[in-house]
């Protein structure tokens, strides 16, 4: 289908492989947590994996692919949940993990090459007293550009908001997919063009992000006898801006029993709240837990808990992976509980599913408001079952993003306008970058979509 041999012969020393096992392995990410994507993405694979080590090699690989009109799917650590880095149309898998290192760091800011693992980046800047403000639950295996390309938030969002908030991505360097690739520096509002676009409108080569003081973190598990009591505590903790925290995750009973050692100390029938608190603020946190009717059942320094992993690896999408180890049929939806009555909305949903499906949620900031993201933990039966749950949640005012499809627009988290379409056309004139993931207009390939009737997430228009 593609001139792969001619492409490989023109790489001028850039490392590549066509080994079937390695190509197949690199063509996957964490999409298997979705029963719908397991079916939709079966057998999707690249034809060749290219592993550039320098910016010049990235440009050489892109130049060769464009001249032969071969699709390019850029991949970092392969930790995405929606199949963001799975090639839908074969071609070149551009593995960026060998293009790594810190470009520079200074108080409050750091710039790194695209393939730098986020844990490695923190290891460099922590001795200087700084750490990244935001990182995913897959920090140990995620690259900084992969997080920006496919993520929407994570650890730190309960303090700093979503990745899309102004200031959370300072700048990025990108290259175009043209016969002679161009290099552009994006700053300010322009970084939103590439953020959460799955590498479908530009290839990131450098990312610049703000940093925060590196605290000594306490990993804390608190138990609450009443689910809504835990919700009210979580919302209040998020609003306590004087208490520095990194994650705020609520798991209704019996989810604690599905998470192994991390939930072992949680009494039967109690909701588990997983959080990380900066050590100097622990006393204030402790008094808030008691005032809200909770009990601290586990308290350890970061990485020293008895559960064998950092506590944040039991939250967000990683939390679902932990649950699936106990029962692989569990899945979820990506609901956004936002607006003036977040607690009331959660309470109404809780009443609808009480005794049937426990609710999992993370609490964080978005556009200056405290919101929650999550859904009931669903024992998957069919796509029709999932569609029915989507309708119920949306009837209660919950915004649902489709985490069981592959397209940027179909997922519905990224907000796009005519600037995005123009930027895509300018940077990728032959539609070679991750084709099928970000499509505008008619006559182009479409994403692998499910029929879930989701409305997407909605954000206020900001001038």
> Do 201 and 222 share a domain, yes or no?
no
Domain-ending residue, one of 95, 128, 148: 95
Which pLDDT belongs to residue 82? 86
CATH of the domain at 29: 3.30.43.10
- The residue ranges of the chain whose pLDDT is under 50 are 443-445
Q: What is the pLDDT of residues 214-251, one digit of tens each?
A: 999 999 999 999 999 999 999 999 999 999 999 999 99
- 272 and 390 part of one domain: yes
Query: What is the reported pLDDT for 448?
Result: 57
What local confidence, expressed as pLDDT, does residue 444 receive? 46
Domain end, chosen from 47, 77, 95, is at 95
Residue 25 is assigned to a structural domain of this protein: yes
Q: Which of 453, 447, 451, 455 is nearest to 408 (CA)?
A: 447
Annotate 395-426 with DSSP letters as a single string. Answer: HTT-EEE-TTS--HHHHT-S---HHHHHHHHH
The residue written with tokens 């509980």 in the block is 337
Phi, psi (deg, nearest 5) at residue 390: -60, -45
Q: How far is CA 150 from CA 162, 197, 220, in A?
A: 13, 7, 28
- Residues of the domain holding 174: 102-213
Single pTM value for the model:
0.95
447 in any annotated domain? no
CB contact at 8 A, 218 and 301: yes
Domain count of the fold of the chain:
3
pLDDT, position 462? 66
How far apart are alpha carbons 172 and 159 in whole angstroms?
23
369 occurs within a structural domain: yes
> Is the same domain home to 243 and 371?
yes
In the numeric block, the tokens 């470009």 are attached to 103
Q: Quick one: 148 and 231 in the same domain?
A: no
Q: Indicate whether 200 belongs to any domain.
A: yes
CATH of the domain at 332: 3.40.462.40
442 in a structural domain: no
440 domain-assigned: no
Give yes or no: residues 175 and 151 share one domain: yes
**DSSP structural state of residue 54:** S
237 and 375 assigned to the same domain: yes
Q: Residue 414: is it exposed, middle or buried by C-beta count within 10 angstroms (0-12/13-18/19+)? A: buried
Let me know whether 287 and 365 are in one domain: yes
Give yes or no: residues 265 and 360 share one domain.
yes
Spatial CA neighbour of 334 closest among 365, 375, 367, 372? 375
State whether 200 and 84 are in the same domain. no
For position 137, which CATH number holds?
3.30.465.10
| Whether residues 164 and 23 fall in one domain | no
Q: Indicate whether 17 belongs to any domain.
A: yes
Residue 443, pLDDT score: 44
Q: Is residue 449 part of a domain?
A: no
Q: What is the pLDDT of residue 81?
A: 86
Domain boundary among 184, 213, 242: 213
Residues 11 and 133 both lie in one domain: no
* Same-domain pairing of 51 and 135: no
Q: For 372-408, write each residue's pLDDT tens digit.
A: 999 999 999 999 999 999 999 999 999 999 999 999 9
């Amino acid at each position: 289908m593609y001139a792969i041999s001619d492409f490989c012969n023109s790489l001028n020393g850039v490392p590549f492989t066509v080994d079937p096992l390695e190509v197949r392995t690199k063509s996957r990410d964490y999409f298997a947590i979705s029963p719908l994507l397991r079916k939709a993405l079966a057998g999707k694979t690249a034809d060749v994996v290219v592993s550039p080590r320098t910016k010049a090699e990235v440009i050489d690989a892109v130049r060769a692919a464009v001249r032969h009109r071969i699709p390019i799917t850029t991949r970092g650590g392969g930790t995405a949940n929606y199949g963001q880095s799975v090639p839908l149309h074969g071609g070149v898998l551009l593995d960026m993990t060998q293009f790594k290192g810190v470009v520079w760091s200074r108080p409050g800011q750091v710039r790194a090459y695209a393939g730098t693992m986020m844990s490695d980046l923190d290891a460099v800047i922590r001795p200087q007293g700084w750490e990244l403000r935001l990182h995913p639950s897959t920090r140990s295996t995620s690259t900084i550009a992969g997080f920006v390309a496919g993520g929407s938030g994570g650890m730190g969002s309960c303090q700093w908001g979503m990745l899309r908030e102004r200031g959370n991505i300072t700048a990025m360097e990108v290259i175009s997919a043209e016969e002679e690739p161009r290099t552009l520096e994006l700053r300010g509002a322009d970084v939103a063009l590439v953020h959460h676009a799955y590498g479908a409108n530009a290839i990131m080569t450098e990312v610049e992000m703000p940093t925060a003081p590196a605290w000594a973190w306490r990993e804390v598990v608190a138990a609450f006898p009443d689910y809504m009591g835990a919700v009210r505590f979580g919302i209040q903790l998020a609003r306590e801006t004087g208490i520095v925290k990194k994650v705020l995750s609520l798991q209704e009973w019996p989810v604690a029993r599905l998470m192994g050692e991390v939930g072992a100390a949680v009494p039967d029938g109690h909701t588990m709240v997983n959080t990380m608190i900066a050590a100097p603020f622990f006393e204030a946190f402790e008094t808030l837990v008691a005032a809200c009717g909770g009990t601290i059942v586990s308290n350890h320094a970061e990485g020293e808990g008895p559960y064998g992993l950092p506590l944040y690896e039991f939250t967000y999408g990683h939390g679902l992976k932990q649950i699936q180890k106990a029962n692989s049929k569990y899945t979820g939806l990506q609901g956004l509980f936002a607006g003036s009555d977040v607690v009331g909305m959660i309470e109404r949903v809780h009443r609808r599913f009480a005794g049937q499906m426990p609710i999992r949620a993370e609490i964080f900031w978005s556009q200056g408001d405290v919101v929650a993201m999550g859904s009931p933990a669903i024992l998957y039966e069919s796509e029709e079952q999932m569609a029915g749950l989507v309708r119920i949640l949306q009837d209660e005012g919950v915004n649902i993003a489709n985490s069981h499809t592959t397209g940027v627009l179909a997922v519905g988290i990224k907000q796009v306008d005519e600037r995005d379409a123009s930027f895509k056309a300018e940077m990728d004139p032959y539609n070679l970058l991750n084709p099928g993931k970000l499509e505008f207009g008619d006559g182009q390939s479409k994403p692998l979509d499910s029929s879930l009737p989701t409305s997407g997430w909605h954000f206020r228009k900001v001038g």
